[in-house]
């Protein structure tokens, strides 16, 4: 505790050291002795401090004394770069605005050229600055301190984008591509990740096949999550290439790297991804369709693409740790400033011990992360070739420390930290990606441990060999015997750390040495116990990796602090304290992690975790199993509530075997329900026909529906809205097409756009000029008037126009349906309103002979026939409206449908009818799901983005065809926030009226009429979603499925409704948690007298 108190006392001093403007270094990193990298001998793995741990040895060569690779000229160069870079961020680049805009301004990107930001490490002969890794790191630290998003952009461009050309390109490739990339005229990108290939880079599916003439490779495939993918000019792309082994003669697929120009053609980019953080950076999918790549654009050798990719990533990964040092520096400064200014309970936050401890730990963390990061980059400049493990350590340690510091900073700021104004919430969103990209930390942990295990295994092999010839290897065996004897009696085998560490840190050096020897012994025990199978023991490997990271970090801080003491720097005492505190806590973590790999208690705990995971997985993936579990409920009810009783079931419901069979062979009971539903539909159509064809068009009461500028899906739902109003007030619906963009190229001879050009007439009464002249626009006070008090002709403007007039969308029509129909339809429909809306929409778009002929011909050309799954993929340029989903999310539902059928013995050909406004989505589906047959309209029909092509009669016909086909599919996968998806579902509900099972999946929630949530205008009809006992004297008990009529919010009880139970025939209070909303409880006019009339009447 005394050390921690001392650290707290030095917090302000640390703040001054770190945040008052460092021009050449940080604390002891103001490099004193310059050593030329060119004079350094290449070191081997045997000198690696990190890998030596796995043999229980202390290798000090790479860490002691603290590495320093900069001579005076190199220091002067980087000093000249610091001020322009800091000025760029303070004056030219607005990180917060880029986050809001989700793009960088042209001004910012152009200014980056002026400071040489596009070619920091590129060779000078191609226009770059040719900074070494340490110089580059100092500038990346400034980037990390200001905006991680621009850091992603720069890293994607140069650290991995064109890094492959720098490392593996031939002279011709470098001369052609590097100059425009280095100056920023061209932008680079690195294209490796695919939908089925993330951390497993060898499993990519993109292919490149050599043409018969031997001059080009033809590239096909798609990449996802590509930084700069939306505008990159030159990309390093990886694809599988047929490769013939010279020895065996066998042909296999081998990953190969290519330099690909967007100018080659056949390359398209998806829309920018909507990301949690680093939003200023551009991230898209990139699609390659028969891209012709000259053979001279192979990067490296054919078949060695995996090697190229790993070298690029390893080379670029080291900078992430350095970027995190700047990030942590910014957060610590923010926390310190807030704590010094914020007063609570009559004292500043900085004076409270809990805040002091947080800030002290932030300072310690910064020191450790910085020590590790600069040790790695200096060693790279000193000629160390095998630095992959150390770079991975720096990346993990830096990214996770940055996340923890960000969390503590936000905690110190409290509510202010949660607000956008403080910028900490943006920093938290931005930093999270660092634990995922350029090697997920989970994978890198295995990478560290497995490299170390291999290194230790080589040592054991040497010992085994020595044991076979003991006399000739007596010295080796003697050394190993002495080492194990000392370990057995608790003595240290090595004084290596004590010899290179400052005396003031000797106690810390002893602790670290002891942990290293324990680490080596643990690795040896695990190898003896598990043998080669140790590579599958991820529980153990992860903890070995965590211990490795902590020990390496302890070595780095101890070396750096020792250098500060030896050089008599003014910060030496402070650094000594920071190092001691870090080492004390890190030693405890190492001890815990090593114990976790050997003690029975921890291994048993892992076995429990393993069993629990399997149990939970089986419960989630197989919800029909209902075996009892420890927590006292079934897997089905615990993880996935019964779909029919849960109003959020649209996301997970999958058609059952029974309902699938019912589609083809309905039973008598289901056939009866189908007939009832068809009868209900006929009643509605009969009433609509009566309403729309009055005996006297001149005196008939009418509603004119004005059309707005919108897509067909929105327009049609507006018509339905108007139709409900007309039905409620017993009026004839007329449609004013003069403002409608569709049908503009099919104007009739009389100069009017006629509805009948594509559809059957909606009414025998035409819309006349007299109707338009006498129509009274809808007014808010109309809501309180009875039908007979309204004007003869009411004009309903578009919903958007009404919103502008009344500042909120009024309830013109009701979220309700006639009660007689409602209780008839609820017997076989979970969403009666979807059926009701579908009936009205079906009446409106009844095709005329011309349109019906087009639909029939299209059906024949596309071979559209049952069974078929319908899929509508929502436009990805509408992200501002609602959440968007990747095509794989849609396909997950379709896979579940077909797999479920197969489990039940129904083996169907996997056929999917796809509609989308984005043709590139079709190519992606065909590329990634080769076991499916995708039926879709011609590609040139799928283009509703442009104004000129979208609003025409031709594309209106395509729209009606697509919606009709979707509705007729046996199973439907859509999004309910899409008007197209919702309309297809509504029509689908009318067609599949024989079963109460869902035949669809919605990815984004529940169905609400017109896509809006219910207005909850009392009274309304609700349904019980669970059994609920009576609550209080005025309560009534309900059981699952009960319909509750005339519900109103209780005045006396919170979250309670007063309803009429149809089953109990009595009123009472019911808890809101027991109910789900169905429809508004509105009294519609009685049309029963029309039901017996013929159409001629």
Catalytically annotated residues: 438
Helix axes 953-968, 849-861, angle to 10 degrees: 60
Helix (H, G, I), strand (E, B) or coil at 807: coil
- The DSSP code for 41 is P
Phi and psi at residue 1076, to the nearest 5°: -130, 145
Structure token pair of residue 275 = 């990301």
Do 869 and 972 meet the contact criterion of CB atoms below 8 Å apart?
yes
- The DSSP code for 27 is G
| Partner residues linked to 709 by β-bridges | none
What beta strand segments (E) does 234-321 contain? 234-244, 251-261, 267-269, 283-294, 298-299
| Partner residues linked to 1066 by β-bridges | 1061
Which H helix or E strand runs over 1044?
A: strand 1043-1049
Distance CA 46, CA 386 (A): 10
Distance CA 963, CA 980 (A): 7
Phi and psi at residue 830, to the nearest 5°: -75, -35
Chain position carrying tokens 């589906």? 925
| Partner residues linked to 870 by β-bridges | 913, 972
Helix (H, G, I), strand (E, B) or coil at 536: helix
Structure token pair of residue 830 = 């979970």
Distances (CA, A) of 573 to 7, 507, 565: 11, 15, 7
Residue whose C-alpha is closest to residue 772's, from 789, 795, 748, 749: 795
Phi and psi at residue 1060, to the nearest 5°: -105, 125
Helix axes 538-566, 506-530, angle to 10 degrees: 160
What lies within 8 Å, CB to CB, of 29 at 6+ separation is 370, 374, 560
What is the per-residue DSSP string for 314-338? HHHHHHHHHHHHHHHHHHHHHHHHH
Chain position carrying tokens 């603290």? 66
Residue whose C-alpha is closest to residue 573's, from 497, 512, 509, 504: 504
Distance CA 236, CA 191 (A): 6
Q: Which own/partner contact pairs does 309-314 have at CB distance under 8 Å and 24+ positions apart?
A: 309/192, 309/201, 309/238, 309/255, 309/257, 310/201, 311/167, 311/168, 312/160, 312/163, 312/164, 312/167, 312/190, 312/236, 313/160, 313/438, 313/439, 314/387, 314/388, 314/391
**Within 10 A of 34 (CB to CB), how many other CB atoms are there?**
13
Phi and psi at residue 596, to the nearest 5°: -65, -25
Which H helix or E strand runs over 942?
A: none
Structure token pair of residue 690 = 């009566």
Distance separating the N- and C-terminal Cα atoms of the chain = 96
Q: How much of the chain is in helix, strand and coil states, percent to nearest 5?
A: 55, 15, 35
Distance CA 217, CA 208 (A): 6
| Partner residues linked to 796 by β-bridges | 705
Residue whose C-alpha is closest to residue 527's, from 609, 459, 606, 448: 459
């Amino acid at each position: 505790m005394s050390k921690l108190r001392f650290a707290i006392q030095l917090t302000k001093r640390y703040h001054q050291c770190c945040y008052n403007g460092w021009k050449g270094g940080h604390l002891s990193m103001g490099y004193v002795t310059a050593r030329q990298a060119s004079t350094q001998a290449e070191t081997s793995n045997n000198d690696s401090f990190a890998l030596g741990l796995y043999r229980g040895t202390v290798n000090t060569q790479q860490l002691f004394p603290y590495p320093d690779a900069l001579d005076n000229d190199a220091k002067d160069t980087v000093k000249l770069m610091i001020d322009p870079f800091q000025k760029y961020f303070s004056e030219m680049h607005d990180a917060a605005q880029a986050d809001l805009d989700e793009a960088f301004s042209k001004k910012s990107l152009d200014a980056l050229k002026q400071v040489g930001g596009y070619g920091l490490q590129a060779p000078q002969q191609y226009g770059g600055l040719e900074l070494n890794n340490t110089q580059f790191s100092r500038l990346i630290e400034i980037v990390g301190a200001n905006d991680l998003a621009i850091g992603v952009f720069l890293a994607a461009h140069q650290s991995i984008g064109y890094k492959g050309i720098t490392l593996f390109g031939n002279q011709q490739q470098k001369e052609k591509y590097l100059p425009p990339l280095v100056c920023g005229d061209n932008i680079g990108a690195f294209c490796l990740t695919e939908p089925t290939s993330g951390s497993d880079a060898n499993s990519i599916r993109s292919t490149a096949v050599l043409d018969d003439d031997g001059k080009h490779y033809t590239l096909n495939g798609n990449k996802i999550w590509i930084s700069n993918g939306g505008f990159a000019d030159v990309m390093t792309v990886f694809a599988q290439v047929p490769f013939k082994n010279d020895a065996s003669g066998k042909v296999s697929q081998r990953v190969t790297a290519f330099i690909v120009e967007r100018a080659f053609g056949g390359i398209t980019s998806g829309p920018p991804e909507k990301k949690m953080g680093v939003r200023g950076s551009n991230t898209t999918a990139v699609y390659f369709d028969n891209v012709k790549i000259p053979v001279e654009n192979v990067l490296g050798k054919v078949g060695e693409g995996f090697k190229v990719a790993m070298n690029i990533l390893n080379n670029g990964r080291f900078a992430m740790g350095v970027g995190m040092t700047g990030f942590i520096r910014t957060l610590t400064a923010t926390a310190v400033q807030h704590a010094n200014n914020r007063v609570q309970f009559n004292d500043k936050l900085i004076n409270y011990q809990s805040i002091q401890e947080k800030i002290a730990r932030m300072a310690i963390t910064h020191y450790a992360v910085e020590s590790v990061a600069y040790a790695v980059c200096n060693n790279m400049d000193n000629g160390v070739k095998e630095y992959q493990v150390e770079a991975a350590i720096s990346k993990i340690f830096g990214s996770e420390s940055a996340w923890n510091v960000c969390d503590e900073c936000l905690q110190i700021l409290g509510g202010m930290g949660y607000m956008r104004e403080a910028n900490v919430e943006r920093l938290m969103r931005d930093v999270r990606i660092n634990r995922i990209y350029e090697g997920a930390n989970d994978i890198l942990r295995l990478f560290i441990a497995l490299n170390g295990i291999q290194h230790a295994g080589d040592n054991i092999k040497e010992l085994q060999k020595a044991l076979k010839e003991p006399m000739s290897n007596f010295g080796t065996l003697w050394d190993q015997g002495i080492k194990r004897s000392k370990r057995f009696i608790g003595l240290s085998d090595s004084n290596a750390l004590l010899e290179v560490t400052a005396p003031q840190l000797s106690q810390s050096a002893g602790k670290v040495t002891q942990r290293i020897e324990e680490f080596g012994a643990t690795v040896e025990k695990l190898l003896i116990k598990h043998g080669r199978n140790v590579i599958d023991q991820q529980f153990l490997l992860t903890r070995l990796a965590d211990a490795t990271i902590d020990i390496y970090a302890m070595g780095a801080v101890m070396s750096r602090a020792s250098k500060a003491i030896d050089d008599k720097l003014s910060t030496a005492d402070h650094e000594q304290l920071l190092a001691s505190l870090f080492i004390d806590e890190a030693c405890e973590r190492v001890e815990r992690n090593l114990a976790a790999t050997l003690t029975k208690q921890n291994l048993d705990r892992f076995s429990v975790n393993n069993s629990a995971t399997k149990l939970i997985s089986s419960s989630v993936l197989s919800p029909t199993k209902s075996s009892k579990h420890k927590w006292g409920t079934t897997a089905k009810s615990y993880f996935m509530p019964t779909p029919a009783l849960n109003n959020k079931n649209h996301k997970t419901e999958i058609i059952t075997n029974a309902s699938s069979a019912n589609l083809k062979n309905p039973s008598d009971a289901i056939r009866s329900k189908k007939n009832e539903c068809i009868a209900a539909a006929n009643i509605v159509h009969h009433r609509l026909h009566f309403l729309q064809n009055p005996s006297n068009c001149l005196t008939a009461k009418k509603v004119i529906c004005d059309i707005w500028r919108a897509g067909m899906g929105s327009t049609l739902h507006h018509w339905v809205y108007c139709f409900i109003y007309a039905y409620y007030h017993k009026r004839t619906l007329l449609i004013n097409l003069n403002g409608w963009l569709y049908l503009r190229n099919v104007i009739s001879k009389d100069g009017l756009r006629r509805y009948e050009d594509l559809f059957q007439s909606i009414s025998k009464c035409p819309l006349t000029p007299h109707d338009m002249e006498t129509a009274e626009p809808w007014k808010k006070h109309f809501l309180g008037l009875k039908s007979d008090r309204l004007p003869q002709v009411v004009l309903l403007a578009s919903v958007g126009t009404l919103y502008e007039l009344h500042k909120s969308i009024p309830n013109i029509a009701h979220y309700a349906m006639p009660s007689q129909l409602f209780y008839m339809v609820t017997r076989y429909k979970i969403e009666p309103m979807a059926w009701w809306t579908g009936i009205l929409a079906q009446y409106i778009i009844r095709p005329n002979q011309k349109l019906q002929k087009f639909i029939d011909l299209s059906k024949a050309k596309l071979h559209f026939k049952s069974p078929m799954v319908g899929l509508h993929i929502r436009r990805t340029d509408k992200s501002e409206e609602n959440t968007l989903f990747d095509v794989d999310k849609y396909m997950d539902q379709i896979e579940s449908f077909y797999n479920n059928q197969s489990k039940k013995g129904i083996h169907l050909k996997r056929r999917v009818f796809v509609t989308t406004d984005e043709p590139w989505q079709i190519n992606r589906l065909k590329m990634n799901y080769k076991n499916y047959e995708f039926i879709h309209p011609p590609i040139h029909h799928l283009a509703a983005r442009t104004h000129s092509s979208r609003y025409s009669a031709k594309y209106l016909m395509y729209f009606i065809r697509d919606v009709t086909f979707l509705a007729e599919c046996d199973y439907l996968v859509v999004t309910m926030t899409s008007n197209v998806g919702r309309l297809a579902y509504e029509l689908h509900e009318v067609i599949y009226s024989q079963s109460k099972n869902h035949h669809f999946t919605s990815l984004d929630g529940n169905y609400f009429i017109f896509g809006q949530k219910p207005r909850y205008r009392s009274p309304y009809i609700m349904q019980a979603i669970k059994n609920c006992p009576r609550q209080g004297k005025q309560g009534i008990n309900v059981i699952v499925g009960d319909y509750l009529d005339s519900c109103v919010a209780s005045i006396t009880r919170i979250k309670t409704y007063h309803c009429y139970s149809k089953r109990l025939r009595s009123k009472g209070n019911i808890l809101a948690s027991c109910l789900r909303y169905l429809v508004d409880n509105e009294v519609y006019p009685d049309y029963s007298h029309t039901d017996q009339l013929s159409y001629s009447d």
